[in-house]
């Protein structure tokens, strides 16, 4: 792709679109359609898109609105100045959900059987997560200890969430809408010697060792 016809900038309240000066509407629409159809994580359902009202003609704005709504993306026409100040790095903002995921709940004890942490944000556990305990987080989960319970990261759909633990040996790991369970034979699950990280890669939950 040549230099972008459509520029996308993440802001606190969503994505801000701006268009190359002089670009014709046909190529703008074409470019956006390709981006949407590629299933890029930019445009997950519920994302709010802002466009300056004077960037395009009224009729063209309506056509864009229809295009976005087909993909479940909310389309707003707002002035970039009145919209909340844009962040500098081109981040993968997802509006509200992302904001929550960047908050952190800190659990400063061992979670024992039957105890549960449920939050829209991310979770840091300084202690173990014992069998029978569960953590359900909108964001990612970091366990500074042994994880033997059930952990669900990205519970509200964030498939970029991950789970990290010093010793990762949980009953189940769930990330977004995927589930991985521990092997049926206990012997197959050797004691993890180093910190590991579970995340989604190519539509599967994969676990890999990490340094920390």
Q: Does 132 bind other proteins (CB under 8 A)?
A: yes
Residue 156 near residue 137 (C-beta atoms within 8 A): no
- State which residue, 138 or 149, has the beta carbon closest to other proteins: 149
The site that binds other proteins (CB under 8 A) totals a number of residues, namely 12
**Of 114, 119, 159, 158, the residue nearest 136 (C-alpha):** 119
**CA neighbor of 92 nearest in space, from 132, 128, 47, 58:** 47
Q: Of these, 18, 77, 130, 159, which contacts other proteins (CB under 8 A)?
A: 130
| Stretch 63-82 residues interacting with other proteins (CB under 8 A) | none
Question: Residue 106 and residue 122: Cα distance in Å, rounded?
Answer: 9
Q: Point out which span in 66-74, 79-87, 124-132, 155-163 binds other proteins (CB under 8 A).
A: 124-132
Does position 126 interact with other proteins (CB under 8 A)? The reply is no
Q: Quote the CA–CA distance of 151 and 191 in Å, as a whole number.
A: 18
Matching residue, tokens 């970091």:
142
Of 39 and 114, CB closest to other proteins: 114
Identify which of residues 18 and 130 has a Cβ nearer to other proteins in the complex.
130
């Amino acid at each position: 792709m040549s230099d972008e016809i459509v520029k996308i900038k993440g802001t606190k309240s969503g994505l801000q679109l701006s268009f190359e000066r002089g670009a014709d509407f046909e190529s703008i629409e074409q470019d956006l359609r390709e981006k949407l159809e590629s299933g890029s994580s930019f445009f997950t359902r519920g994302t709010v898109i802002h466009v300056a009202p004077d960037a395009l003609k009224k009729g063209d704005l309506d056509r864009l609105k229809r295009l976005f709504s087909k993909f479940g993306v909310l389309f707003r026409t707002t002035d970039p100045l009145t919209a909340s100040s844009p962040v500098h790095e081109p981040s993968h903002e997802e509006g509200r959900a992302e904001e929550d995921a960047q908050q952190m709940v800190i659990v400063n004890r061992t979670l024992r059987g039957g105890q549960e942490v449920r939050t829209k944000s991310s979770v840091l556990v300084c202690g173990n997560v014992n069998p029978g305990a569960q953590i359900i987080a909108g964001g990612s989960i970091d366990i500074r200890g042994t994880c033997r319970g059930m952990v669900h990261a990205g519970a509200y759909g964030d498939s970029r969430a991950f789970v990290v633990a010093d010793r990762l040996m949980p009953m189940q790991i769930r990330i977004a809408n995927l589930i991985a369970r521990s092997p049926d034979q206990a012997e197959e699950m050797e004691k993890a010697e180093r910190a590991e990280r579970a995340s989604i890669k190519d539509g599967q939950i994969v676990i890999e060792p990490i340094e920390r």
